[in-house]
Amino acid sequence: MGELFSGRHMSNTVQSERADVERGLRAGFIDADQEAKEQYRPRLIANDKSTGTNLLTVLKQQLSQCNSFDICVAFVANSGLQPLVEVLSELKRRNIKGRFLTSTYLAFNTPDAYGKLLEYDNVEVRVYQGNLHAKGYIFDYGATSTIIVGSSNLTQMALTCNREWNVLFRSYGTGDMLISLGDEFESIWQDPQTIRLTPEWIELYRETWTPPEPPKARPYITYDGATESISTKISPNKMQRLALEALSKLHERGERRALLVSATGTGKTYLSAFDIEAERPARVLFLAHRQRILEASLASYSKLLGDAYTYGIYQPGRDQGGVRPTCLFAMCSTIVRHLEEFDPSAFDYIVVDEAHRTGSSSYQRIMEYFEPSFYLGMTATPNRTDGYDVFALFNHVIAFQITLQDALENDMLAPFHYFGIADLKINDDDIDDPALFSKLTSDERIKHVVSKIEEYTVGKSQRRGLIFCNRNDEAAELSRRFNELGYRTCALSGANSDEERNEAIARLERGELEYIFSVDILNEGVDIPSLNQIIMLRRTESAIVFVQQLGRGLRKDDQKDYALILDFIGNYQKNFFVPVALSGDRTFNKDNMRKLVKEGSTVIPGASTVSFDRIAEARIYEAIDGGRFNATRLLKDEYFDLRQMLGRIPALEEFDANNAIDPLRLFDKFGSYHSFLSKYDPDYDVKFNDTQERILKFLSQKLGSGKQLEDLLIVKRLVSGSLSWCDQELERAYDSAALERARRSAVSLLSGSFSGSGSFIPLVEGQSDDLRLSRAFASSLADAEFKRQVLEVVDFGISRHAQNYGAPYKDTALVLNAKYTYEEVCYLLNWEKNVNGQNIGGYKFDRATNTFPVFINYEKDPDISDSTKYEDRFITDRELVAISKQPRHLDSPEIERLRAWPGNGMRVFLFVRKNKNDGDGGKEFYFLGEMFPTGEYKEIVMPGANTAAVEITYELMDPVRHDLYDYLTSNIDLVEQQF
């Protein structure tokens, strides 16, 4: 609890904090207009993915920062404890003390959950053996405490998704509410019905414990009072209904082939059966490559379609002279050898499971032979590494797509709790190098892996897992060593027969095995619903393979609430594929990747969570920073993946529509989309002259991002033949004065006066009230294809503006947390001329606009001289110390200008980048808002140069966003030294 103290003994810091708390309480409970720092305002915590808010994130933040804690929750589910294990382990390592009070109410808590709580020897746990239903969290910070009271127990749904209300507020120890909560906690803690948690008590509990019955589904009452009865009939879920609607339209259109792209475990087989139920084909063939798939699919079809069909698995020679089933299930490898037994028109509807395998000669022969009315291909991974075009085989008709993220959002899969864990320092060695085997199977690594599995596993009594390795010999050796340690495991490889594989899977399902080790043979074609752990001991070099392996554990099952995913992350250059795979975002936008790493639990849909330990997080950041996402090979591969899917050259808007590589990367690397296509797509034969190419390059690189709207609207209106400043084509968020400044800057940019470059081709001439196209631009537009491409780039930029820049910061054209180059800052701050970055040198005052942007490289190159190692540093997410240029003294003009604030009205803006060597992103700075000098100035002497500089303390008007702050201030070398 917060400590009691008297005002006369309070330090200045404590007095300041007390004032902040009081202002926050007044703003929260009396007057919302009261100015108060955000961190001190009471607030409602309601799980909301749209705002990136959930109770889990708040609890993890409070636990990681507090001095001690008291928690009282009635229900502690395995699923609620699982996403907290990492922060609880960190608290144990730091010996942060806590008290945890729970109950036996309704026998909700499992023996495994109690056992996990007992592993944290820094936390004392007591169990109230009665009807306790309280939910409260108290975090002590010394003078103050943070309290959260509300509706949420520790379950994955309550922490992430359920409509829950929890109130957070700050208090001193003298506060009545905190005292009352403390008294109530102590009362239950000391109650005779409360017992200290011990191993002996857990064993007694386990002997008598019976899992509570799951809640029964309740009827859904519509707005008119009608009640939908609960039926045992299998019905399509929301995503399947949308897919069926799309398939129906294809059937109406007369399409003969289509591809269904749907994540593993999302019910592709049932979806195909629903479509067959709707279309009623007379004869159906279902093709697969594994006997287990055939048997499971036959069971699903017969369960859904009932007596409408007869069913059977094809066995050559068994049915000659007899009547074949109207719904036949066949192994591809079997039926391909007996095609002569069938008439080409023997089937009306053919389903091809795992359709990405259709590149094999067997599938090709089958599909060339049969002539059904409709072929439906089903796959989770249509993109193949061997270059075969699966999309072409299905006429580039995509019936529907259900991504992993779609499936999680629509509750089609079991939630997962992913943990990225630092592996030992295993680098990108040749996978076949014999020396690597000794590293992968060393005593040190096995000890590390085993300890982490135990540390992160909550449900230890019912674990069923797959462990994916780099090599088959590694899998076999690790299995042997795990067995020596008392685990029940086996290893499978391509050398094992189908019978051996099936028997191992059956043993796993029965609980006779805990883990199966393999490399890649279990990536697909395996249905083990009871799987509740996936452990990845291999490097991630493909987002496709990652999702395949992750998906093995996500099929729903009555025996599991979630899947635990442990990913051991080494020093691999391609670690950036981890956030790409988890998010499904293939734009290769570094900021999106970083946000997933830090805020994954609020980004991933549903109750799933994502967390990285500090070293793994730093390694991922390092891989993202060093990733060359403008590399020609990557851009070509991603482009041709999209082109292959569409069967034609994509339009710019189709990159965003299909979540493909960001076209801005093409603009940055090649100048324009036209230039890229001219180099690499043999079907593209458009030619432009030098002037047209230079204009397209300028429009693509300067306007394509959409960072400023007015320049795009000017070009669109002039090219379309008219210009009206009064046209409200898009609602503007600026006030009239800011809008007029933005328009003047846009004319300056398009006319060439802003850049002052002699090689620039002006696009406009004249003034705002008499603006017209330049002669060179106007004559170039006589080419219809050039005009189409100009408008395509402009429309793309307008779309990007609406997506990313439609909510500018205060009265500026800048957007908080967006990234900008030196030139873009000068332009968007409405400076008359561009200023070379070297001349800015950290900061630059512009007299005409009275603006003072401060640019900081937060992580310095270790090779730069001591005299330029400016120790700029964040003190908190709202306070920054920045160092001036040198030589500077307290009476230097720019320091005097800062000291004259706020009387001079100067506006100071902060721009920060991690480091200028950030791969292809090093030219851009994050805009972190407006700040002001606090009045603290300190003249220092720079080491190694003996010249003076001035330390300036600033306060930011807006706190740095949590994920950005953590990324900017992280340092992998320091992190690894601490562990």
Q: What is the pLDDT of residues 484-498, one digit of tens each?
A: 999 999 999 999 998
SS3 607: coil
Q: How far apart are CA 254 and CA 429, in angstroms?
A: 52
- The tens digit of pLDDT for each residue in 386-440 reads 668 899 999 999 999 998 888 998 889 999 999 999 988 776 665 556 677 888 8
Give me the pLDDT at residue 111, please.
Answer: 97
Nearest to 452 by CA among 336, 537, 359: 537
The pLDDT of 204-224, averaged and rounded, is 72
Q: What is the DSSP letter of 702?
A: I
Percent of the chain residues topping a pLDDT of 70: 90
Element (H, E) at 618: helix 614-626
What's the whole-model pTM score? 0.85
Query: Can you give the pLDDT at residue 166?
Result: 95
pLDDT value at 973 more than 90: no
* Region of poorest pLDDT, from 315-329, 614-628, 793-807: 315-329
Most confident region among 16-25, 169-178, 765-774 by mean pLDDT: 169-178
Per residue in 529-553, pLDDT (tens digit) is 899 999 999 888 888 888 889 999 9
Q: For residues 949 and 386, which has the higher predicted lDDT (pLDDT)?
A: 949
The residue among 181 and 53 whose pLDDT is bigger is: 181
- pLDDT at 711 > cutoff 90: yes
| Whether the predicted pLDDT of 231 surpasses 60 | no
Closest by Cα among 255, 276, 451 to 347: 276
User: How far, in Å, CA of 334 to CA of 919, rounded?
Assistant: 51
SS3 content of the chain, % helix, strand, coil (to 5): 40, 20, 40
CB neighbour list of residue 614: distance below 8 Å, 6 or more residues apart: 975, 978, 979
How high is the pLDDT of residue 721?
77
Pick from 338-347, 569-578, 742-751: least confident: 569-578
Query: Does pLDDT of 683 surpass 60?
Result: yes
* pLDDT of amino acid 429: 62
Find the largest Cα–Cα distance for the chain: 105
pLDDT at 730: 46
Q: Residue 79 to residues 116, 706, 759, 849: CA-CA distances in angstroms?
A: 12, 43, 63, 55
Q: DSSP letters along 349-367, please?
A: EEEESSGGGGGSHHHHHHH
Take residue 133 and report the two structure tokens written for it. 């239903």
Identify the residue whose tokens are 């002001």. Answer: 932
pLDDT of residue 438: 84
Highest mean pLDDT among 23-27, 448-452, 524-528, 598-602: 448-452
**What pLDDT is stored for residue 870 in this prediction?**
60
Closest of 627, 628, 640, 629 to residue 679, by C-alpha: 640
**What pLDDT sits at residue 501?**
92
CA 467 to chain centre: 23
3-state secondary structure 6-17: CHHHCCHHHHHH
